[in-house]
Structure 1
């Protein structure tokens, strides 16, 4: 008799859930110094349309995605994925693909014409994953630090 695992996607909205997701977002964003910093940033960003969703397997968080619905002259209305991470211990289990399918469906149901994400040029394993998921590299993003 095999055990059926329960997978659930849900919005991360409570302070306790945001703080609990810090261990996973830290794998993607190691510059975040603490749960407190993450909580404060999440609060500011949600005020600007940021949404954080998690994939839970048997109530254990295994993947996170942070995204916004935006519009600009280049893409029209689009679904921008800012943060996407699967737990290091849970990679190659299909959870990343499940999250990408979930995000693509959210983009479609939100009336977006595209799903867009940025990834560093150095992220070759991520590039391979994105190509497998059907994403194409269509641009480069340039940036320069500015003094405040």
Structure 2
């Protein structure tokens, strides 16, 4: 039998909660700016239902995920994990797995059958160990102005 999960997960809903998550999100997304972070999160929330959830160990934020429900013909209904980060000092200690398990419970509660994310190359072994499979297409992007040039 595995040890109980020592982490507490909480949706970050106030501007203060979101602002307090900036340093951790910045570990994953170095291009973000503190001055615009809360406004960006609020904009994405209103556009597609994006939400931030924090994972806490003894009241200290050590993991963070940004998620939203998505549904499409190719992948069906899924909880899209756009941003998942564990503070560098806590990586390898089970916080990432615990966050994904929390998200799986939330998805199940909402009737969503799958989690979907894009994995950086260095994170693929972690996700594979948890049962994530690499399938469908490889995500790619282009700037609209570049395509129209």
* TM-score between the two structures when normalised by the length of structure 1: 0.88
SS in 1 for 2:77: strand
- Asked if the contact 1:75–1:113 (Cα under 8 Å) also holds between the matched residues in 2, the reply is no
Q: What's the counterpart of residue 144 of structure 1?
A: 142
Per-residue deviation, residues 16-54 of structure 1 (Å, max 9, x unmatched): 1111100000011001022x2111101101112001000
| Deviation of 1:6 (Å) | 5.2
Q: Deviations over 1:108-140 (max 9, x none)?
A: 111112211013xxx332101110111011131
Quote the residue 1:45 is aligned against: 44
1:92 counterpart = 2:92: yes
CA contact (8 A) 1:75 1:114 kept: no
CA RMSD in angstroms, aligned pairs only: 1.6
The residue aligned with 1:133 is: 130
4+ residue stretches of structure 1 with deviation over 6 A?
none
Separation in 2, partners of 1:85, 1:78: 20
Unpaired stretches in structure 1, ≥5 consecutive residues: none
Q: How far, CA to CA, are the matches of 1:137 and 1:52 in structure 2? A: 25
Structure 2: runs of 5+ lacking an equivalent: none
2:18 aligned partner = 18
Residue 80 of structure 2 corresponds to: 80
TM value normalised by structure 2: 0.88
